[in-house]
């Protein structure tokens, strides 16, 4: 294996996977999907479908125990409702703190787990799909350029210079991500982004709104909605 | 809770725990012990004994699944022998790479897991016991000052400036750590460092050798050996 892709089955990480496969070939790419106690399993099902589409090896990990005491609204154990507003609207009420769907240090934990797995498989690089829209206004501080730079350094140094982190979209918005995925013919029809676990995406949560806007900016309808 | 201490039940992390309790009080300290698939459970037993001695809350996590494909010699699944040499001797044969007891990105993973748990409990700081002897010659690159600085930044930024990392011994050697622990009356008689899981420490592995030298430098016999 050459590259490990942190892969949720959503739009951003599917684009990341498409990029890594384009560069390294499917046989050299390992996809890693991590459960963290979220309220539904739609993302993992989507991840399996996309991995099968590409013929890449998919490894899964369950790290829900780490978040057992968190009250993040995405998690099964939480009684908090998932907000039906855009991130910008939510941020007017958080007093500078992350939004309620911020899972504590999730991206740091995922990247670190990815580093341990990647080193065990001889990978040289980890890809992940953080982008600028999620980092805006400190909604998800673990998607920012500064966070990414620090995690890259930690993983490069802490692995004895064996492993690098690539976040190809860290300075792009979600519309740019979709534009790149469309060029690569990413199988967006198989992906799942919605925070709710309904039969169809709710269309109202922060990530549904962002996703719809990104497709609209590219002049097409979301192929996962029919 | 104010502080989370990454706590293995060994000498360095017991000293770290003693420091954190001295500063914050036992009632404000959460100790976190992480299993990672090591060949024995002596460390976890020691961690429980030390936590009980101090009356601090001990949380445990099992992250062995993350290392399922690693061939690190500390792990159950590995057929490699744990070297019976000092780190300096081992490093003459590793061609600049970490020693065979380096668990891939373990400290990064442990700190990230600690960050997720700490944020769930409202802690402001994570303590961990990395020191300069372990970092020397790239034996354990995830114990170095540069690694620690990068992880601190990643956790501080990625938590939305809610959480800091303190590595009080990162520029000390193990003899300095023991000196500090002796001043704090750390219960070293309850700790376990040896990589092997025998009834008594083997006295030959890298960590046994380092431990014995650190006590000798302080002019005393290891209180865990009788």
Sign of the Cα pseudo-torsion (A149, A152, A155, A159, in order): negative
Cβ within 8 Å, pair B119-A105: yes
Q: At what angle do helices B106-120 and B145-158 cross, to 10 degrees?
A: 30
Of B65, B105, B119, the CB nearest to A61: B65
Cβ within 8 Å, pair B138-A157: no
Q: Does B162 score more than 90 pLDDT?
A: yes
- Which range (A63-77, B64-78, B83-97) has the least confidence? B83-97
* Mean of pLDDT values over B22-40: 95
List phi, psi (to 5°) of B96: 80, -5
Cβ within 8 Å, pair A104-B159: yes
The predicted pLDDT at position B226 comes to 65
pTM score: 0.93
Of B61, B116, B158, the CB nearest to A147: B158
Domain containing residue B201: CATH number: 3.40.50.620
Taking only Cα atoms into account, the Rg of chain B, rounded to an integer number of angstroms, comes to 16
Mutate to test the interface with A, among B104, B115, B130, B138 (most CBs of A within 10 A): B104
Cβ within 8 Å, pair A113-B117: no
Do residues A15 and A169 make contact, with C-beta atoms less than 8 angstroms apart?
yes
DSSP A166: E
B103 neighbourhood in chain A, CB within 8 Å:
116
Give the side-chain half-sphere CA count within 13 A for B83: 19
B167 neighbourhood in chain A, CB within 8 Å:
none
Cβ within 8 Å, pair B158-A151: yes
Q: Is A99 within a domain?
A: yes
List the strands of the sheet with B125-127, edge to edge.
B57-62, B29-35, B3-6, B125-127, B164-166
CA-based nearest residue to B112, from A7, A114, A13, A144 = A114
List phi, psi (to 5°) of B190: -95, -5
- Report how far residue B98's alpha carbon sits from residue B137's, in angstroms, rounded to the nearest whole number: 8
CA-based nearest residue to A10, from A74, A73, A69 = A74
Which of A36-50, A107-121, B34-48 reaches the highest mean pLDDT? A107-121
Helix, strand, coil abundance in chain A, percent, nearest 5: 45, 10, 45
* Mean of pLDDT values over A132-151: 88
Mutate to test the interface with B, among A157, A162, A163, A167 (most CBs of B within 10 A): A157
Q: Does B144 score more than 80 pLDDT?
A: yes
Q: Does A130 score more than 70 pLDDT?
A: yes
The whole domain housing A87 covers 3-217
Distance (Å) from the alpha carbon of B221 to chain A's nearest alpha carbon: 33
- Report how far residue B144's alpha carbon sits from residue A75's, in angstroms, rounded to the nearest whole number: 35
Distance (Å) from the alpha carbon of A96 to chain B's nearest alpha carbon: 8
Do residues B153 and B189 make contact, with C-beta atoms less than 8 angstroms apart?
no
Spatial neighbors of B52 by CB under 8 A, at least 6 apart, are: none
| B 159-198 near A (Cβ less than 8 A) | 159-163
* Percent residues over pLDDT 70 in chain B: 100
Do residues A15 and A178 make contact, with C-beta atoms less than 8 angstroms apart?
yes
CA-based nearest residue to B191, from B1, B5, B29, B53 = B53
The predicted pLDDT at position A226 comes to 65
Neighbours of B106 (CB within 10 A): 24
CA-based nearest residue to B225, from B197, B203, B195 = B203
- Chain B interface includes A67 (CB < 8 A): yes
- Which range (A11-20, A135-144, A208-217, B187-196) has the least confidence? A135-144
- Report how far residue B33's alpha carbon sits from residue B46's, in angstroms, rounded to the nearest whole number: 10
* Mean of pLDDT values over B189-211: 90
* Mean of pLDDT values over A192-198: 88
Q: Is B212 within a domain?
A: yes
A162 neighbourhood in chain B, CB within 8 Å:
97
Q: Is B226 within a domain?
A: no
Q: Is B126 within a domain?
A: yes
Do residues A26 and A54 make contact, with C-beta atoms less than 8 angstroms apart?
yes
Q: What's the N-to-C CA distance of chain A in angstroms?
A: 36
- Report how far residue A76's alpha carbon sits from residue B189's, in angstroms, rounded to the nearest whole number: 42
Q: Does A199 score more than 70 pLDDT?
A: yes
pLDDT digits (tens, 9 = 90+) for A179-193: 999 999 999 999 999
Q: Is B222 within a domain?
A: no
B153 neighbourhood in chain A, CB within 8 Å:
146, 150, 153
* Mean of pLDDT values over A107-136: 94
- Report how far residue B90's alpha carbon sits from residue A124's, in angstroms, rounded to the nearest whole number: 24
Cβ within 8 Å, pair A69-B117: yes
The predicted pLDDT at position A73 comes to 87
Q: Is B145 within a domain?
A: yes
- Report how far residue A66's alpha carbon sits from residue A97's, in angstroms, rounded to the nearest whole number: 21
DSSP B81: P
Of A69, A105, A157, the CB nearest to B141: A157
Q: Is A10 within a domain?
A: yes
Residue of B18 and B194 predicted with greater confidence: B18
Residue whose token pair is 């023991």: B178
The separation between CA A108 and the C-alpha centre of its own chain, rounded to angstroms, equals 12
- Chain A interface includes B62 (CB < 8 A): yes
B154-171 as b/e: b if 16+ CB within 10 A: bbbbbbbebbebbbbbbe
pLDDT, chain A, mean: 93
- Say how many domains are in chain A: 1
The predicted pLDDT at position A99 comes to 83
* Mean of pLDDT values over B205-222: 93
Helix, strand, coil abundance in chain B, percent, nearest 5: 45, 10, 45
Residue whose token pair is 């992350």: A98
pLDDT digits (tens, 9 = 90+) for A9-23: 999 999 999 999 999
- Chain A interface includes B80 (CB < 8 A): no
Cβ within 8 Å, pair B158-A150: yes
B158 neighbourhood in chain A, CB within 8 Å:
105, 107-108, 141-142, 144, 147, 150-151
- Chain B interface includes A97 (CB < 8 A): yes
Q: Is A223 within a domain?
A: no
* Mean of pLDDT values over B53-59: 98
Could you tell me how many CB contacts below 8 A there are between chain A and chain B?
150
pLDDT digits (tens, 9 = 90+) for A43-79: 899 999 999 999 999 999 999 999 999 989 888 888 8
């Amino acid at each position: 294996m050459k590259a490990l892709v942190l892969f949720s089955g959503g739009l951003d990480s599917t684009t990341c996977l498409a990029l890594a496969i384009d560069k390294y070939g499917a046989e050299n790419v390992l996809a890693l999907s991590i459960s963290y106690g979220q309220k539904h399993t739609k993302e993992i099902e989507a991840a399996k479908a996309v991995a099968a589409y590409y013929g890449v090896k998919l490894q899964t990990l369950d790290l829900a125990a780490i978040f057992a005491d968190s009250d993040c609204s995405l998690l099964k154990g939480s009684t908090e409702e998932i907000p039906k507003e855009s991130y910008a609207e939510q941020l007017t009420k958080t007093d500078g703190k992350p939004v309620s769907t911020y899972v504590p240090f999730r991206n740091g934990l995922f990247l670190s787990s990815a580093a341990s797995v990647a080193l065990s498989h001889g990978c040289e690089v980890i890809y992940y799909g953080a982008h600028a829209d999620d980092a805006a206004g400190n909604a998800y501080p673990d998607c920012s350029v500064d966070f990414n730079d620090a995690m890259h350094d930690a993983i490069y140094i802490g692995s004895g210079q064996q492993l690098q982190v690539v976040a190809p979209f860290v300075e792009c918005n979600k519309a740019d991500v979709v534009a790149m995925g469309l060029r690569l013919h990413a199988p967006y029809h198989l992906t799942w982004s919605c925070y709710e676990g309904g039969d169809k995406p709710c269309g109202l949560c922060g990530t549904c709104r962002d996703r719809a806007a990104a497709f609209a900016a590219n002049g097409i309808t979301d192929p996962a909605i029919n």
